[in-house]
């Protein structure tokens, strides 16, 4: 009887996981399939899913440099790289200070940092646009990097602060007793053990910046259109080029997926360590 119960509960767990996986992966699979079909196959009712019709034509078309996807990917890459690098540098220093130094008002500061996360982006969209346009920063990489930093930094600070707090103070004291200067302690002890959470948050910020759409569409015009904008532009007033749009989406997803796979170990370790390390 107990073994029957166990089998039953296992069955339900697996069912649940299967449904979740299907819900998560379904749209991705549909996007890949769609990107491989010509427009005519998609617009016919019902859609003609004959594998014999599959073609790489959509990919060839979107990779044509005049179509904007390629420059979108480069813009996205520049913006996401800068956002995650600068975010990590500033965020880790702020988090370390908040975790280690006893400063008056640090808890208030932390709450304020968290509070910035509570406003929906739309609230600041128009003021932000006005500020950026007065400063003549609209349609520059800098504008998007600053905006993305403003909403990823709080998350970076909170995640890394949690991690730094979990690092036993004694490690740094032991290093001091062993004769390490504060800089050597950071270089030989704190930095190496912080790599997993740093990578994890870095990847997280990169993906956030890479995928962002709302501020990108407000603050860009021609020169720094990011990949999500370039993808959206396949949807026109009279016609939506589904195949090309989804081919672009698939292409734009590749760097993010690669990043996640490459740093999978770090990402998992990093978040777990930040959360439960004793």
Partner 1 sequence: MATLELIEITKKFGNVIAVESVDLKVEEGEFVTLLGPSGCGKSTILNMIAGLEDVTSGDIQINGKKVNALGPFERDVAMVFQNYALYPHMTVEENIGFSLRLRKCPKNEMQSKVQKVAAMLELEKLLHRLPRELSGGQQQRVAIGRAVIREPSIFLFDEPFSNLDAALRIKTRGEIKELHQRLGVTSVFVTHDQEEALSLSDRIAVLRAGRLEQYGSPEEIYMRPATKYVARFIGTPQMDFFTGEFINKDGLLYRIGEAEISIPAITKLPDTAFDVGVRAEFVSLGGKGFGANVRLVQPVGPFTYVTVDWQGGSVTARVNGVSHLKPKEQINVEIDPEGLLFFDRATDLRKDIL
Euclidean distance between CA atoms 124 and 117, whole angstroms: 12
Q: How far is C-alpha 129 from the chain's CA centre? A: 23
Count, residues near partner 1 per rule CB under 8 A: 16
Q: Crossing angle of helices 191-211/264-276, nearest 10°?
A: 110
Task: Confirm if 88 and 155 have CB atoms less than 8 A apart.
Answer: no
Q: Is 179 in the site for partner 1 (CB under 8 A)?
A: yes
Q: What string marks each residue from 19 to 48 as x (binds partner 1 by CB under 8 A) or -?
A: ------------------------------
> Judged by CB under 8 A, which stretch of 34-42, 87-95, 132-140, 171-179 contacts partner 1?
171-179
Task: Confirm if 226 and 72 have CB atoms less than 8 A apart.
Answer: yes
Angle at 199 between CA 195 and CA 200, to 5 degrees: 115
21 vs 184, which CB is nearer to partner 1? Answer: 184
Q: How far is C-alpha 111 from the chain's CA centre? A: 23
Q: Is 173 in the site for partner 1 (CB under 8 A)?
A: yes
Q: What string marks each residue from 120 to 159 as x (binds partner 1 by CB under 8 A) or -?
A: ----------------------------------------
141 vs 277, which CB is nearer to partner 1? Answer: 277
Q: Is 165 in the site for partner 1 (CB under 8 A)?
A: no
Q: How far is C-alpha 183 from the chain's CA centre? A: 31
In this structure, which long-range contacts are made by residues 135-138, counting pairs with CB atoms below 8 Å and at least 24 apart in sequence? 137/219, 138/219, 138/220, 138/221
User: Binder to partner 1 among 45, 50, 52, 170 (CB under 8 A)?
Assistant: 170
Task: Confirm if 66 and 129 have CB atoms less than 8 A apart.
Answer: no
Q: Is 171 in the site for partner 1 (CB under 8 A)?
A: yes
Query: Shortest Cβ distance from residue 179 to partner 1 (Å)?
Result: 4
Q: Is 175 in the site for partner 1 (CB under 8 A)?
A: yes
Binding residues for partner 1 (CB under 8 A): 168, 170-171, 173-180, 184, 188-189, 192-193
């Amino acid at each position: 009887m107990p073994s029957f119960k166990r089998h039953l509960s296992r069955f339900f767990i697996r069912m649940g996981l299967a449904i979740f996986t299907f819900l998560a992966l379904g749209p991705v699979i549909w996007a890949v399939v769609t990107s491989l079909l010509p427009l005519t196959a998609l617009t016919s009712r019902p859609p003609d899913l004959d594998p014999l019709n599959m073609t790489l034509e959509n990919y060839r078309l979107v990779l044509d440099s005049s179509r904007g996807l390629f420059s979108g990917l480069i813009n996205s890459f520049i913006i996401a790289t800068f956002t995650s690098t600068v975010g990590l540098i500033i965020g880790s220093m702020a988090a370390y200070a908040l975790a280690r130094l006893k400063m008056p008002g640090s808890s208030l500061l932390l709450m304020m940092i968290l509070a910035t996360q509570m406003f929906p982006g739309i609230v600041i969209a128009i003021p932000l646009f006005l500020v950026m346009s007065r400063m003549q920063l609209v349609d520059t990489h800098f504008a998007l990097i600053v905006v993305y930093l403003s909403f990823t930094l709080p998350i970076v600070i909170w995640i890394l602060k949690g991690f730094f707090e979990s690092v036993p103070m004694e490690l740094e004291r032991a290093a001091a007793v062993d004769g390490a200067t504060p800089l050597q302690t950071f270089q030989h002890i704190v930095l190496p053990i912080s790599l997993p959470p740093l990578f994890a948050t870095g990847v997280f910020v990169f993906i956030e910046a890479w995928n962002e759409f709302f501020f990108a569409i407000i603050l860009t015009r021609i020169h720094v259109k990011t990949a999500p904008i370039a993808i959206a532009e396949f949807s026109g007033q009279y016609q939506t080029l589904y195949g090309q749009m989804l081919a672009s989406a698939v292409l734009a997803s590749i760097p993010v997926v690669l990043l996640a796979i490459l740093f999978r170990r770090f990402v998992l370790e990093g978040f777990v360590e930040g959360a439960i390390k004793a």
